[in-house]
């Protein structure tokens, strides 16, 4: 029984980390669209000094919300545009 409880707790912690990661990536991605200097400042803090590291996290975020049918078309469009902007070096 203890192993089951530990596994559930571990799963909950991993889920919480993924949620924080997704919303942090979303925030950084949207902030990066404000100006070139903000974009560069954010990129400088990321691996390889690139926003591209945010893309897989954001794609998982969108896919998750699409499977639950919890993302309105206008939000999906906005997030997709931000994801594309993160692909640009």
pLDDT score for 47: 96
Per the structure, the complete domain to which residue 80 belongs is given by: 2-87
pLDDT digits (tens, 9 = 90+) for 67-85: 999 999 999 999 999 999 9
25 closest CA partner among 56, 64, 66, 65: 56
Distance, in Å, from the CA atom of 15 to the CA atom of 88, rounded to the nearest integer, reads: 29
The predicted pLDDT at position 83 comes to: 97
* b/e map 16-29, b = 16+ CB within 10 Å: eeeeeebeebbebb
d(CA 60, CA 64) in angstroms, rounded, equals 6
Q: What is the pLDDT of residue 19?
A: 92
| pLDDT tens figures, 3-58 | 888 888 898 899 899 999 999 999 999 999 999 999 999 999 999 999 999 999 99
Q: What pLDDT was estimated at residue 7?
A: 85
Would you say 47 and 53 are in contact if contact means Cβ atoms under 8 Å apart?
Answer: yes
Q: Do 77 and 20 contact (CB within 8 A), yes or no?
A: no
pLDDT of residue 27: 98
Q: Which residue has the higher pLDDT, 34 or 2?
A: 34
Residue 1 has pLDDT above 80, yes or no: no
Q: Write the Ramachandran bin of 48: left for phi over 0, alpha for psi from -120 to 50, otherwise beta.
A: left
How many distinct structural domains can be found in the chain? 1
């Amino acid at each position: 029984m203890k192993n089951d409880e530990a596994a559930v707790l571990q799963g909950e912690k991993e889920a919480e980390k993924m949620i924080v990661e997704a919303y942090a990536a979303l925030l950084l991605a949207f902030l990066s669209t404000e100006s070139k200097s903000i974009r560069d400042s954010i990129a400088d803090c990321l691996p390889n000094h690139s926003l591209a590291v945010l893309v897989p996290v954001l794609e998982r975020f969108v896919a998750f919300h699409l499977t639950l049918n919890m993302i309105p078309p206008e939000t999906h469009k906005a997030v997709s545009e931000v994801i594309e902007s993160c692909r640009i070096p």
